[in-house]
Amino acid sequence: MTPPELVQQKLETLPTKPGCYLYKDSAGKIIYVGKAVNLRSRVRSYFHESVDSPKTAQLVSQIADFETIIVGSELEALILEMNLIKKHRPKYNVRLKDDKRYPYIKVHYADAFPTVTVTRRMDDDGSRYFGPYTSVWAVHQTLDVLRKIFPYLTCDRVITGADPRACLYWDIKLCLAPCIGASSQAQYRAMIDDLCRFLRGHTELVVARLRDEMRRAAENLEYEKAATVRDQLVAIERVVEKQKVISTEQVDSDVIAFARSNGEACVQIFFIRAGKLIGREYFVLEGAAEESDNRIVEQFVKQFYDEAAFIPPEVLLPEEIEEAKIINEWLSSKRGGERVILTVPRRGAKRGLVELAAENAAETLAALKAQWEADTNKHVQALTEVQAAFKLAAPPNRIECFDISTTQGTAATASMVVFEQGAPRKGHYRSFSIKSVEGPNDFASMQEALTRRFRRWQDAQADPKGGVVASGQMRATGAGEAGASAADGLIVREMPGGLAPPASAAAEPPAGEAAPTVTPPVAAASRPPRAPGQKPDESFARLPDLLIIDGGKGQLGVAVEVLQAFGLLGRVPVCGLAKQQEEIFLPGQPVPILLPRRSQALYLVQRVRDEAHRFALARHRLRRGKLGLASQLDAIPGIGPARRKALLRRFGSLDGIRAAGVDELANVRGMTRAAAEALKANL
């Protein structure tokens, strides 16, 4: 395959040093990240006449450009590759499916009286971490058990031992109450050490210490304390008896295996501590279609142990991996220099463990696929029910919902959320800062937001290269679009134009409700034209199959007027959703629709409406906070919009400005010494 001219030129100048390479498509998006000991030979190997797999051939056909990053060693290249994959989530890399951070149990060990919390990030703060877990539910379930055995603190009191009384948790034996001196710091930390050992699966020392403590309490006639320790021992035994003994050797190891089906891959990992199977987790991988088995294992090992809180001295694998030597070196360095061995057992008990993990992976993948299919069926059922209830020609594959959020008319913000095939399409969410409305007027705010939305659609129609997709057509959404949620929250700042929709009697207000007074948007200069070749915003370029307005007949009437002004009244189905009784109002129909209370259609409509409300409220709070900050600075003599903007760009916040000295403030572009002194005096 002949590469593009730009790629050919770069191939001739590649260095022979270790590093990472990033392949890009014609849009400049990174589609693959790899590492190499020799960048020149590795990158050039992709463009030979024969490639090693159909997936590689497909990747090469998409490469329009690439860049390389040189590092000092293969180990540095390995670490950089993992960070780049985590950051860019390239389409053709094998990667953990969820782009969120996994939850951990965090023991705040650096504190005098450590607490135990749930976190999604590991910081170098002296704390001890356990995980990752695949769900927060699993973490909290573990903590529920732990707290009955090890009653750690959950409050934020400053522990002095001199408080007059403890809280309720002391009475129900879920806290040692160091706040009142019921336990010393040494006793409390000993309990926390036991908790940490327990989480690592080393329960023998914990049980031995508790038995000794129970014996001494009984000898000292402290029968209540002895009974409490006895209950702890019973609770530990109940947990331990569920842990399967794998080996008489007191070894720590992880067992990794996987299953794959129709492009999906599920990895199962068993955690063996002190010879006992103490737990297991599963992880789903993306980009595994047509990928080799050893490559799947290799990528999982790198990505999992990059985030793992604990690395055992032995890791059992189902396949030999190409980068075993450098991964061994990397894992050993993460373990503090202690040797870590990657082993592929061929027979015996260890091989049986790998096979057992593979069976569990296959069962988990089958259960997940059944769950995914059930979720898809619910979406299909919901869309079908909506189609029937609204008398639509086809199921509404694309639903848009608008909501207004404001506080007494200030910082009014409109949200537009998008659901496609019954699921949120966060990359298409948009919010509008309302410009033309003064005071609390939801009707006029809704009119401005809808007018701006459909004017953007109108602009896209005028662009012959806009790539407009007609209403009702669905574009295939590939895995490469998983990161589209990065666009979540784009605030559209174009000024409203001079469109004044004609009055319409299509929807009249209900009895007792005043007719909405809608002020047409103020005419303003049109947006600057797009640069040549720049595509219109896809979220606006496509029409919805169903438009939902959060509100009753009044808001619906405004939407009808806007659609009529753009010639879309019969083309875009629209409804208003009233919160009180979940009534659905349709144009020209005086009697609202009430969907069945347990129908999938109602659940979907409510979810869309709630998401629009959440998004509008979040954007309104953000804008209101910025306006409040701006007003505080504007009230200071000598600080105008230009200086305010420069100050915020330099220091980031009002607290940052307060913390700065007069000299720092005076050095900001546009500031003077006098203005800096006035600012400091007023803040």
Q: Average pLDDT for residues 284-294, to the nearest whole number? A: 83
The residue from 63, 93, 123 where one domain ends is 93
Query: Number of structural domains, the chain?
Result: 4
Q: For residue 620, what are the CA distances in angstroms to 21, 409, 414, 496, 662?
A: 42, 11, 8, 19, 33
Query: What's the CATH code of the domain at 356?
Result: 3.30.420
What is residue 544's predicted lDDT score, i.e. its pLDDT? 93
**pLDDT tens for residues 319-362?**
899 888 999 999 999 888 889 999 999 888 888 889 988 988 88
On whether residue 245 sits in a domain, the answer given is no
DSSP per residue over 106-174, as a string?
Answer: EE-TTSSS-BEEEESS--SSS-EEE---S-HHHHHHHHHHHHHHS--B-S-----S--S---HHHHTTS
Are 422 and 552 members of one domain?
A: yes
Are 514 and 606 members of one domain?
A: yes
| Range(s) of the domain holding residue 448 | 391-465+485-527+535-624
What is residue 483's predicted lDDT score, i.e. its pLDDT? 33
On whether residue 53 sits in a domain, the answer given is yes
Are 655 and 564 members of one domain?
A: no
**pLDDT tens for residues 246-274?**
655 667 889 999 998 777 789 999 888 87
Are 407 and 501 members of one domain?
A: yes
Are 19 and 70 members of one domain?
A: yes
Are 594 and 657 members of one domain?
A: no
Categorize the per-residue pLDDT at 410 as very low, low, confident or very high, splitting at 50, 70 and 90.
low
Query: What's the CATH code of the domain at 58?
Result: 3.40.1440.10
Are 678 and 588 members of one domain?
A: no
Q: Tokens for 650? A: 């330099």
On whether residue 220 sits in a domain, the answer given is no
Average pLDDT, the chain: 79
Are 13 and 59 members of one domain?
A: yes
For the cut 70, the answer to whether the pLDDT of residue 62 exceeds it is yes
**pLDDT tens for residues 143-192?**
887 888 888 888 888 888 888 888 888 888 888 889 998 889 998 998 89
Residue 32 identity (one-letter amino acid): Y
Are 556 and 619 members of one domain?
A: yes
Q: How far apart are CA 382 and CA 384, in angstroms?
A: 5
Q: For residue 230, what are the CA distances in angstroms to 148, 196, 214, 215?
A: 12, 20, 7, 10
On whether residue 506 sits in a domain, the answer given is yes
Query: What's the CATH code of the domain at 640?
Result: 1.10.150.20
Q: Which residues are within 8 A (CB) of 599 and not within 5 positions of it... i.e. 6 or more apart? A: 385
The residue from 58, 93, 128 where one domain ends is 93
Categorize the per-residue pLDDT at 401 as very low, low, confident or very high, splitting at 50, 70 and 90.
very high
On whether residue 179 sits in a domain, the answer given is no
Are 502 and 649 members of one domain?
A: no
Q: How far apart are CA 57 and CA 46, in angstroms?
A: 8
The residue from 55, 73, 93 where one domain ends is 93
